[in-house]
Amino acid sequence: RILHDYLAGDEIIILSNREPYIHNWKEDRVEVQVPASGLVTALEPIMRACSGVWIAHGSGSADRDTVDARGHVRVPPERPAYAIRRIWMKAEEETGYYYGFANEGLWPLCHLAHVRPVFRSQDWRHYKEINERFAMAVIEEAKTDNPVVLVQDYHLALAPKIIRDHLANATIITFWHIPWPNSERYAICPWHREILEGLLGSSILGFHTRFHCSNFIDSVDRLLESRIDRDTSTISHGGKLTAVHHYPISIEWPSGPLRAHPSVPDCRTQIRTLHRLKPEHRIALGVERLDYTKGILERFLAVERLLELQPEWIGRFTFIQIAAPSRSIIEQYRRFSEEVRALADRINARFGYTGYQPIVLLVEHHSPADLMTYYRGADCCFVSSLHDGMNLVAKEFVAARDDDQGVLILSQFTGAACELPEALIVNPYHIDQCAAALHLALTMPAVEQRARMRSMRGVVQEFNVYRWAGRMLMDAARMRQRARLIREVG
């Protein structure tokens, strides 16, 4: 309802690299996959609520076979509410734009995870071309001269300016889902100026935290000629104004996959039966894409340390790591995946025995419903990112626990840590501290779990994804109203 109030019939177009539904051929039938992406998790409920068009890269093997002549497909499959417009790219374009510039350049540039960013001129060329393609699709889709365009993430930094050049009255809200580095580090990018200018095509530029907003403003201050008003957090560049604000992203509440889901005791039994564990066996859980920013190695080392220091857990505790394969064409990701497997094998060889493995590593995609069963069946969820814009796994775990039980261990280097101080906050580089947090989590009395969980649930319920979108759209609505007034008054 909030979204309807703010949009009041406005046209809404979302732009992101990743599409919310991927169609793949499985033998002779089409299977629909929901990708493992925090961005998709957050935006999909909004599109279901307000319809519109979502422009995204068509990446599935059956994507071309499921669209109409305009490149559209209506989704969600079970109850169509909005359209995806698919953008096609050649293999070499995807390599340059997505794997190269976005994921070997910008991703490691923005995350402090000690992976060196790689910038190649030919990747940059593809990045520019694909951003142009996305922007032109907006212009084709727009039915009015002033749509509300929601541009998502680091894949599309140049699109806001291109859209602005064609649709001067559009309200362009760009959200950067990953951290923004300090200005010194940011200047490593050979095309830092073009990226800043691209983003400053936006009416509103959003980050998860205040800290990332100031890093961005400092970068503009240092690298671009512009006027900055730090009191109002606005930047004026080339005669255009951009407001830079923080909007911490969140998830749907009540959680979609929770509807009609089996009870917590049923989930506990299901998970333990599936993994051939006793009913009283303790389980801690990790859920993410197999990505070097997520601190998976540090987490496994903490499990090893726990078993070293508290051997009473051997045979009574298992860490289940769900890791969705991700960006595996990139060398860094392949190497990281091997390191994760090798470390799990080493720890399992050290502490495991027939019928017992301290670490269960599941490198495969899981559906939202399956993840819900794991969240509800576990005793603890461990998020140990080395650096993370927000981290929605932490919030999903909290939303899943309507029994008010379960302990969240959360890295201090996530945006989520600012909002969920009742979690056990850890520094993932401090392995002893993480091992102690695991022990604390596994022995925490039910009353304390309840107190912490209730408080965290209150926060996620109140600051849910509708609030995230609502705040941005409310700011946009104010801007639109002001622009209308100026036009009318002349």
Binding site for ligand G6P (CB under 6 A): 18, 37-39, 153, 177-178, 289, 326-327
The 3-state secondary structure of 95-120, one letter per residue:
HHHHHHHHHHHHHHHHCCCCCCCCCC
Q: How far apart are CA 324 and CA 337, in angstroms?
A: 11
Which CB sits closer to ligand G6P, 6 or 175?
Answer: 175
Q: Which residue is nearest to ligand G6P (CB)?
A: 37
Minimal distance in Å, beta carbon 312 to ligand G6P? 38
Q: How far apart are CA 413 and CA 429, in angstroms?
A: 10
Minimal distance in Å, beta carbon 98 to ligand G6P? 7
Which CB sits closer to ligand G6P, 327 or 395?
Answer: 327
**Is 275 within 8 Å of 320 (Cβ atoms)?**
yes
Minimal distance in Å, beta carbon 274 to ligand G6P? 26
Minimal distance in Å, beta carbon 67 to ligand G6P? 20
Per-position b or e across 198-230, b if 16+ CB within 10 A of its CB:
bbbbbbbbbbbbeebbbbbbbbbeebbebebee
Which CB sits closer to ligand G6P, 153 or 252?
Answer: 153
Cβ–Cβ contacts within 10 Å for residue 19, how many?
Answer: 26
Cβ–Cβ contacts within 10 Å for residue 83, how many?
Answer: 21
Q: How far apart are CA 47 and CA 290, in angstroms?
A: 27
Q: How far apart are CA 26 and CA 145, in angstroms?
A: 41
Which CB sits closer to ligand G6P, 209 or 318?
Answer: 209
| Tokens found for residue 92 | 């070499």
Minimal distance in Å, beta carbon 103 to ligand G6P? 6
β-bridge partners, 246 = 207
Which CB sits closer to ligand G6P, 177 or 376?
Answer: 177
Which CB sits closer to ligand G6P, 104 or 304?
Answer: 104
Minimal distance in Å, beta carbon 290 to ligand G6P? 10
**Is 243 within 8 Å of 475 (Cβ atoms)?**
yes
The 3-state secondary structure of 205-268, one letter per residue:
EEECCHHHHHHHHHHHHHHCCCEEECCCCEEEECCEEEEEEECCCCCCCCCHHHCCCCCHHHHH
Minimal distance in Å, beta carbon 172 to ligand G6P? 18
Q: How far apart are CA 18 and CA 15, in angstroms?
A: 9
Minimal distance in Å, beta carbon 409 to ligand G6P? 20
Which CB sits closer to ligand G6P, 160 or 377?
Answer: 160
Q: How far apart are CA 86 and CA 134, in angstroms?
A: 10
- Write out the DSSP string of 146-167: S-EEEEESGGGTTHHHHHHHH-
Which CB sits closer to ligand G6P, 18 or 452?
Answer: 18
Which CB sits closer to ligand G6P, 138 or 178?
Answer: 178
β-bridge partners, 14 = 54, 150
Minimal distance in Å, beta carbon 3 to ligand G6P? 21
Which CB sits closer to ligand G6P, 111 or 128?
Answer: 111
Task: Name all contacts of 334-339 with Cβ < 8 Å and 24+ positions apart.
Answer: 336/290, 336/291, 336/292, 337/290, 337/363, 339/297
* Angle at 437 (CA atoms; ends 432, 440), nearest 5 degrees: 125
Minimal distance in Å, beta carbon 178 to ligand G6P? 5
